[in-house]
Amino acid sequence: MMVVMMVWRPIKALMFVKGTSKPLEDENLCPVSLHKFVFILGNLAVVALAVYKCHGMGLLPNTASVLTGLPDPDRVQHV
């Protein structure tokens, strides 16, 4: 559940970037585009971290045996 929330919250935040930056646009102190860019970049970094964590836990189907239906190769241990 933690990993799902780690993915869902940044995606939800990315869908509402305009609403999140609305208070900064009202103040008109400086250009808001840089703030939006940093906000989007930070949220994309969190999504990338969540994908990396899912890969580390083996939750992503990215091996040839999973994608093509082939059996897993036998592991050989060399001493």
Tell me the pLDDT tens digit for each residue of 6-22: 889 999 999 998 888 88
Question: What local confidence, expressed as pLDDT, does residue 50 receive?
Answer: 92
Return the residue matching tokens 């929330």.
Answer: 5
| HSE, side-chain direction, 13 A CA sphere, residue 78 | 0
Query: pLDDT tens digit string along 31-69?
Result: 788 889 999 999 999 999 999 998 888 888 777 666 677
Rounded (10°) CA dihedral 8, 15, 44, 22: -120
Put simply, whether the predicted model's pTM sits higher than 0.95 gets the answer no
DSSP H helical ranges for 1-79: 2-15, 17-20, 22-27, 33-57, 64-68
